[in-house]
Chains A and B, each alone.
Chain A
């Protein structure tokens, strides 16, 4: 069945450290993956995406890694800041021509000053 999961529901880091948030997906047919950030009281906000023909993609302070062999996705946040505190979701799309996303359960990141 469809499922996109995360390894840890919570993650606590010190300000300035690097954060790594992991996600395992089960549908090998998925070809597009996205990370979203959701702050309290707000809707999810796009962070970065990656297509299945890529292994790594970098943005501003964020890097997404995709390992198709083990169906694993990770989000790395460099020099984590208090403003990064939020719930992070991975999502996959496996239906070309559709915007249907399957979301993971989310990891709550807390950045301690």
Chain B
């Protein structure tokens, strides 16, 4: 069974540009969450989707957005990039809601974004 797949794995952008990151969850998983990981702030929740609906959003500016498609694949977009957006962006999927206490989130290996 394939794991969570994130593309691209690495990318370099300049300030002011925008970027789109993609996440393919494990087959059958309907819930997708996104996290930002930086050395200074650690792992921070961005947003979560379930059945194409955003169910929760973290404390990030409106430049950060996302969506989920009918096949559960998800994308996140960051517009008007800033130097501080350099980070590892992690996607996680699960069969259902953590709120249902099924427990395990499966993380991808992340997309490492560098903003110059």
Contact = CB atoms under 8 A, between A and B. Distances in A.
Contacts of A32: 98, 101
B24 interface: no
Contact of B103 (A49, A104, A106): A49
Given A43-B4, A46-B104, A105-B42, A100 B110 contact: no
Interface residues of B, number: 27
Given A99-B31, A104-B42, A51 B101 contact: yes
Contacts, number: 73
A86 interface: no
Contacts of B99: 93, 95-99
Contacts of B52: none
Contacts of A41: 109
Contacts of A44: 43, 90, 92, 107
A71 to B, nearest CB: 19
Contacts of A101: 33, 35, 43, 45, 98, 105
B71 to A, nearest CB: 19
A89 interface: yes
B105 A46 contact: yes
Given A97-B97, A106-B42, A45 B103 contact: no
Interface in B24-44: 31, 33, 35, 42-44
Interface size class of A (residues with CB under 8 A): 20 to 34
A39 to B, nearest CB: 10
A62 interface: no
A89 B94 contact: no
A107 to B, nearest CB: 12
Given A98-B97, A99-B97, A100-B33, 18 more contacts: A32-B101, A43-B90, A43-B108, A43-B110, A44-B90, A44-B107, A46-B105, A46-B106, A51-B101, A91-B43, A98-B48, A99-B92, A99-B94, A99-B98, A100-B45, A100-B48, A100-B58, A101-B33
Interface of A: 32, 34, 36, 41-46, 49, 51, 89, 91, 93, 95-106
